[in-house]
Amino acid sequence: MEKEDLDFTLFVFDPASPGPCEQYIMPHITGEMQQEPESFAAVGAAWNNRAIGAAVITEDPDEPGAAAVASLFVDPEVRGKGVGKALLAACADIAAEAGAKVLTLTYTLDGEDLEAMDCVVRSMGGVPEFRRPVFTMSSADFHDSRLLGRAFRPDYRRPENIVSFLDLTPEQLEVLIEDPDAPWYNPWMQPELSLAYLHEGRVAAFLLGRMSSPGSYAVQGIWRSDSAPFNTIHTLLLAHVNLCYTHNGGADFLYHCSAAVDFVYRLIQTYTEGKRRRFEEHHAVLAANAEKSE
């Protein structure tokens, strides 16, 4: 099928009711849209009377006055046909109408998909910037792992001093928030998928997680204080893998983790035993209402 043969259309939809576009939006974004629909704008793409992609924008929390693409996904069946570029251009128009000067975009891809998105960004006046590698592993590869295999066994029990962020007391959270060395907050983390390691009643380490798509989980942050015991991260990682496995109904899942700092990169090297796929996270800034190139 040639690009010009794909006669798709774009349409704006209510963030609180994504309908058939929901399958193309990251689950944590869908939840936030339903809770605060006024903070988002959304546009979908349709072809042959079915949805084939969607994009969602919101305010950029790191850049005042800027809009950000919170989610952008195109059905693999129609990639390379101009759908992604049309959705991104529509986002730029919507951002301009809302008064934003720029539109920021962060995407994690590899191979031809990464090259294609970089090309789209350049065609709209942006400059793709490499931020960090992101690694993806399948849990199916680690059931017999010496380091992680125990997390998949029916008799695994989470240690009592590892708790969900939902179970932290207001006092424990307050101490954590006030600790300048604990970069605990991440806007995309989900408390029910994030774990804290308690030592002497205080949070000594944590692993922040979220569900990035059905059957797919991402590590959003890892931190360990100087007071944490030596094996803290290993214990947390086992518990988190088990948490994702249980949350996914005992089915295997994809596990994503970025390597923004050296110790996390070493952790990935040690625990994945070479069974990983490398992606790249790129970031770009576009002018709102960016001119569409042919």
Over residues 97-116, the pLDDT tens digits come to 999 999 999 999 999 999 99
My answer on whether 127 and 172 are in the same domain is: no
Task: With respect to residue 48, please indicate whether it lies within any of the assigned structural domains.
Answer: yes
Q: Which residue has the higher pLDDT, 268 or 58?
A: 58
Asked whether residue 126 falls in the same domain as residue 150, the answer is no
Are the C-beta atoms of residues 197 and 161 closer than 8 Å to each other? yes
DSSP state for residue 63 in the 8-state scheme:
S
Rounded to 5 degrees, what are φ and ψ at 91? -60, -40
Calpha distance 224→181 (Å, rounded): 9
For residue 51 the two structure tokens come to 């949805």
Q: What is the span of the domain harbouring residue 204?
A: 146-272
Q: Is residue 127 part of a domain?
A: yes
Nearest to 22 by CA among 69, 71, 87: 71
pTM above 0.85, yes or no: no
The answer to whether residue 180 scores a pLDDT higher than 90 is: no
- Nearest CA to 242 among 155, 174, 124, 166? 155
Shared domain check, 124 and 161: no
In a domain, 294, yes or no: no
Q: C-alpha 279: how far from its chain's center? A: 13
Same domain flag for 87 and 206: no
Q: What is the pLDDT of residues 135-176, one digit of tens each?
A: 999 999 999 999 999 999 999 999 999 999 999 999 999 888
Torsion sign, CA atoms 79, 81, 82, 83: negative
What's the domain count of the chain? Answer: 2
268: in domain: yes
Is residue 88 a contact partner of residue 72, using CB atoms and an 8 Å limit?
A: yes
